[in-house]
Structures are given as structure tokens and as C-alpha cells.
Structure 1
């Protein structure tokens, strides 16, 4: 299915009038087209036709030359695109030696902070690393203080395409009906949820941290880019109801690709009615446009700026994935369409220094969202680093939002 595109009335203008006036207009999301594929095919056929003509008129060398010029680039493009597709969206195995606190709070977390905070200056970066260290120590102490009979258990669910899904549940508030279901981002692990575990548990939430399809122990031939994962989150919401009963109050939360999955799940008609709110940090508005943005590389030389074109390479990747068993069309992953039909309140979080997901995508999601939503902008935060860039503001807002509905 694909959500209908609807025009939403503009909300009230930002009070930050000067910043709004000075900020360049946000770029429009580009619609995908098969035109680059058609151009590639037409060029190949033209060169093959010219080659045949030269062979016909006894010019074999020219015939071979035109054949190579026409066929070889197309073949190499397809081969390279297929290899890149496997690297980009093929299964991600369980990482070796994973830290129990996850990549961010674990021993190598400072390296991750630095890699996601390329635009931050030294003092700002040092502040993030200090906050990360404090949260890591607090989370470790919280884990160690849990009763002996309270520990993460590995659980399973099955998506409606029969993909086996793996999650990790912690019933740390057995008398509570509150549950947090957390979805990590691309290349992440379920332990990314440990950044939020202590804070939510202290508010009476039980925890379910899922492994997205094609990640870790979950099945799936291809990464879902949020589109396939939306159905997996529906399955997980139903799992929580079976586990906790019809009185359960479920908050879905995700980061990056997991955030996109949460937004798209929020519009699914069979999402468990016990899901009462969604929290989305650093979601893209549209996977295809994110891919176009990330593919484009800017090289600055004295007096020149050159950009590499993503076409037809990305278009070939799209066609290859769509034609494969268990494949799908990448252009279906559009949280910007889904959020207009969200069935629950949504909190959007934009990390102001995010260099992975452009800031304009958060603004597009905000503009398209249903009436019952909020946008939180976390200053000095790189991609998915809001919780350590400003922990007090972040958790005050997030937990207040979650508790209001759960």
C-alpha cells in the first residue's frame, strides 16, 4: 500500500521570525522517475544498433568499438549497482563483542560521538562526551541494581510476510501496563535502546528493544528502510498486547531508520489500539531523497564546485531491489506521507547538528503531520545524539510526552 498524498494547512508561523526569514528555502523532495533507466536502455540499444550497422557494412572494428561503448558501461553499472545494493541493504549479522550498554554508552562511545558530531567545536564535543560518560555510569549502576530475576529475555514475533523477528524484553516494572518499544537505526543494534532504558524504566515502563529485519538475529533478505519495518512494528505491538494484556499502554520510539519505521507504523490500520504515542528522532521524510542526498558528494577546489550525479546508479539499484525475491520499491519509504495519517500523537525530534538527515526533512515532517504532534529541536546534537547533547531538556520533554498518553 502507499498512503495518499494530502496537502495540510500551514500551522502558525515560527516566533523565530528573523531566523525564518534568513533561512534559505527548503529544497523540494524530488519525485523518483524511471527516466534515467529508460535513457540508459535507449543509449545501449542505439550503440548496439550502430554496431550492427557497421558489421553489416563490413566495418567490424567500428562494430566492436560501438558494441563495447554501448554495452560495457551498462553492464558495469548493473554489476556495480548490484554489489553496492548488497552492501547498502543486505543483511547485517550480529556484531562480535557487542558492549552490553550499546555502541553509544559502551566503551567506544566517545568515538561514535565524534563521528556523528563533525560540525561541533571542541568545547561542545567535550560536553557531549562528559554527558555520555555520566549516562553510561548511571545506566550501568541501574542495571546492576536490578533484582536477580529481572533480566533481558530474547523473544520472537513473526511479521505478516512470515519473517522471523527477534527482540529483547525487560519486564522491569511488572506491575505497570506501560511498555516502550524501541527500534534502532540502520546498522544499529537493539542495545541502542540502552540510552533510554534507565530513564523510561524509572517512569514505570517495561522495555522491548527490537532487532530490525536483516539486522542481528532477525530474519529478512533486505533492510526494510522503514517501509517493511512498519509492518514488523505492528507485529511487535500485537506481541506486547499478548504479553501484557489488553490494558497495556505502548509507546513506540525509534531513531533514524527506526524512527521512519515508527512514523509509518503509526498510520497502519491494524496497529494495536494499545499503542498510544510515537517518538521519532532523526527520521528522514523520504528514503529516496535521503539516498540522493547522501550519494551526492561535493568536492571544493579553488574556484570550482563539482557534484557527482546519483543517476542512473541509484535508479539501477532501485530496479534491482524491486526485481529481487522479497524485494520492494525503495520509493515507498515515505514517512512524510504516513505522518499525515498517524493514528496516535507523535513527537518529532530534530538534532540541530545532524549531518546525516538534513534539517529540512524534520521541517517537512512537521508541516505534514496530523494536528496532534510536537517538534523538539535539540541544539548542539549530532545525528541521534539528542539524549546526551541536552539530557535534561531531552528527557524532560520526551518523558512528559510519553507519560501524558501512557
Structure 2
């Protein structure tokens, strides 16, 4: 009888183990694997404040300006031999200033084009990378900012070596915000003057916990832990180590954190957590009645004023 019970228990454990592996691979394909169309938990559009006619006009002009640009395609080889691509706009007035604009999850460099005109008018060269696993760049997984932080060290060095950049700003949205926040914890050259993070998450684990709860109504344990192990095997990192919080603790560069107070894709609390943890000079702008990465879209004029004030404070 005891042997039979042990066999039954062993069978149940075996089935559960196989089920967890299956589920972990499913969630890997949904959240980490390149090219999968996924559902994300998002706030309703009604949470966003109404846009003024002035802001709408500035926004539309910025979008149209970028759409009419003929960008140059740049390429680097990553530390793990991936071919990474970026669009580049050289300013006709050489000011030795450059900005790197980092896009969000499953977007491409085009998504950050709406910010390009502002920076160009401020005299910046514009670099818009496609993150590994996105757009024209190689890679079969999404790094959520963790491996991308090392890619950004290479993009920064390219701007210095090839274009003589002496004043560099890093500016990211959503996952791109996490990219620049994670980059902030690395040893950055003095040419990097400031970092702007719009709607970034605190850690990959906390963000995926939030998504898992709201999309699937599932607890994070043990599914997320199993998926993290699978991600380590297949992509080379765990959700625990991919932390904006841990990286900003080492930051020494001026930092501007932007977040909408109605953001439910990346909870607004994460902005406070990042701000509290960050080293160096730091600012926090919580934008009222604004959802995920919508501050520029809805308060375009004020957004540009605040960004210009930050840039002027760190460069001039």
C-alpha cells in the first residue's frame, strides 16, 4: 500500500512538473521570445486628460517632421555578436550634442520619432536604436533593458568615436526607460550628461507579476519563477537580476523620472520606488490624469519646456 501511494504521489509530482515546464515555456514565448503578438494589461483611454489644440498641433508637427526625414542606418556588433541597427539624423549645425532615444516593448525606433524634432531643434544629433529582438536588429529574445544596457554602452561609444559627441542625453520610454535606467548603473563616460526615463518599471520581475495578475489572474509563484529559470537557459538572464532599482542605486548622472499618475501598464508606484533608490541628482515629474507614456502626447508643450530645462541644467 505504501509503495502504491508513493507511486501515485510521484506521478502527480511528475505531471505537475511537466505542467510547470510547459507553462513556463508558454509564458516565455508570450513575454520574452521575439515576434510574438501579446496582450498587455492597459488602462482605458478615458483615463487620459484631454489634449489642447496647441499641444495637438505641436505633436502633429513633430510626427510629420520625423516622417519626412531620410535617416541614416547605423550598425554595431554587440558583445554577443548580434548585429544591432539604429536610425541616425545628423544635425546640420554641429554642436557636439547627441541624444539616444530608447523605444518600448515590442515597438521599434520609429516609435520614438515623435521626440526627434524637439531634440533636433535643440541642436542634437539623433540616434534611434532598434533594441535587440526588435525591428532591424538581430536577437531572438527581448532583454527588457538588462542586456540592452550593455548595447547602449556601445552606442554611446560610437557617438563619441565617430561623431565627436561631447554632450549625450539618454531618453527612454517604458522598456526604453528601463534600458536607460539600467544603463545608469554602469560606468558611463563623462560625455553622458543626463538621463530621462518616462514610465519605466522598477524590476522585470515586478512588472511581469503585475501583468500576470491582471491578464491571467494568476499568482506569480511558481509560474514566474519557472519562466525566469527558462529565460536564464534560453536568453541568459533572470527576472530578478534585471532591476532598474539596483542599477539606479549606482547612478551618478542627473536623472529625470517622468510617469503618469493614471498609468496602469507600469504602476505609478514604480516611479516613486526608482526615485527613492536613485543616486545622484534627481527629479520626479508625476503627470496628472495621464496614462502610460502619454505625457508628451497630451502635454506636449509643458513636456518640451521641462525637458529643455533639464537639458540646459546638465549641459550648460
TM-score by length of 2: 0.90
1:152 aligned onto 2:71: yes
What SS does the aligned partner of 1:296 have?
helix
- Greater relative contact order, per chain length (Cα 8 Å cut-off, separation 6+): 2
Offset from partner CA, 1:318-377 (integer Å, 9 cap, x none): 1111123x4212211111111121131111111111011111111111111124111111
Distance in 1 (CA, whole Å) between partners of 2:173 and 2:86 is 16
Distance in 2 (CA, whole Å) between partners of 1:395 and 1:78 is 47
Q: Which one of 298, 312, 320 corresponds to residue 222 of structure 2? A: 312
Q: Which residue of 1 aligns with 2:83?
A: 164
Distance 1:353 1:152, change over 3 A: same
Please tell me whether Structure 1 or Structure 2 has the larger radius of gyration of its CA atoms: 1
Q: Which one of 180, 183, 187 corresponds to residue 265 of structure 1? A: 183
What SS does the aligned partner of 2:249 have?
helix
User: How far has the Cα of 1:129 moved from its partner?
Assistant: 8.8
Offset from partner CA, 1:118-172 (integer Å, 9 cap, x none): 1635xx55x249677534531255358x7xxx72011111222222211000113
Maintained 8 Å contact 1:379/1:389? no
Maintained 8 Å contact 1:119/1:353? no
Maintained 8 Å contact 1:378/1:389? no
Maintained 8 Å contact 2:66/2:114? no
What SS does the aligned partner of 1:82 have?
helix
Maintained 8 Å contact 2:132/2:143? yes
Offset from partner CA, 1:212-260 (integer Å, 9 cap, x none): 1111121223211111111011111011112211x52110010111111
Q: Which residue of 2 aligns with 1:139?
A: 62
Maintained 8 Å contact 1:266/1:342? yes
What SS does the aligned partner of 1:297 have?
helix
1:87 aligned onto 2:5: no
The 5 Å alignment of 1:234-383 reads 234-245=153-164, 247-269=165-187, 271-297=188-214, 308-324=218-234, 326-383=235-292
Q: Which one of 128, 133, 142 corresponds to residue 214 of structure 1? A: 133
What SS does the aligned partner of 1:253 have?
strand
User: How far has the Cα of 1:292 moved from its partner?
Assistant: 1.3
Unaligned runs of 5+ in 2: none
What SS does the aligned partner of 1:83 have?
helix
Maintained 8 Å contact 1:184/1:212? yes
Distance 1:311 1:141, change over 3 A: closer
Distance 1:251 1:323, change over 3 A: same
Distance in 1 (CA, whole Å) between partners of 2:218 and 2:19 is 17
What SS does the aligned partner of 1:374 have?
strand
What SS does the aligned partner of 1:216 have?
coil
Unaligned runs of 5+ in 1: 1-49, 55-61, 96-114, 300-306
Q: Which residue of 2 aligns with 1:102?
A: none
Maintained 8 Å contact 1:185/1:255? yes
TM-score by length of 1: 0.71
Q: Which residue of 1 aligns with 2:20?
A: 77
Distance in 1 (CA, whole Å) between partners of 2:112 and 2:229 is 34
User: How far has the Cα of 1:275 moved from its partner?
Assistant: 1.1
Maintained 8 Å contact 1:173/1:201? no
Q: Which residue of 2 aligns with 1:176?
A: 95
